[in-house]
Amino acid sequence: MLETLITSKTRLKLLIKFFVSATNRAHLRGLAEEFQESTNAIRKELNQLSEAGYLDRKTEKNKIIYSANTAHSLFKPLQHLIHTFLGIDQLVEQILDQAGDIGEVSLLGDYAKGIDSGTIEVLILGERINEAYVLLLAERIGKHIGKKVCIYFNKAYSEQKIKLYLNNDLIN
């Protein structure tokens, strides 16, 4: 769907990287390494996205660090578009509707780093979670969006994660 609207694969990867979570930040060489693309291809797209106002750039220790411009009028719609493209919005909405007392839903793995690997990893923390329902839901949504969905329940996780939903009343 989004690949037909945004024909540049590099631009699509960058939009996913920066708009899946507003906290994602990166520099040119790190992005080139992560995406396994030339620095020139990355630089061209970063410049275009920055000039259009979608990305902020700041200099830190002789490196230009890029991040999503959360003040841009299209930030929220773009972020929603990326979440819809990745299938995250459907998954979270249905989990919250019928899965039990959910305290937190977080995105893990490659998607938390802004990489579209085809496997969506989700951590669910809470009480009295209907695990069978959630696993069935994950399988159904995975087939619908053409991605593998892995669900983890009440597991300690220390690597990068993006909190998609947080209910402080249920989190200790």
Domain positions in the chain are 2-75, 87-166
Q: Which residues on neighbouring strands pair with residue 126, listed in sequence order? A: 102
- Residue 83 C-alpha from the chain's centroid: 7
The position carrying tokens 């597991």 is 155
Q: Which CATH architecture does the domain made up of 87-166 adopt? A: 2-Layer Sandwich (3.30)
Percent of the chain with pLDDT over 70: 94
Q: Higher-confidence residue: 83 or 119?
A: 119
Fold entry, domain 2-75: Arc Repressor Mutant, subunit A (1.10.10)
What radius of gyration, in Å, describes the C-alpha atoms of the chain? 17
A 10 A CB-CB count for 127 gives 10
Segment 112-135, tens digit of pLDDT: 776 778 888 989 898 888 898 889
Check for a shared fold between 2-75 and 87-166: no
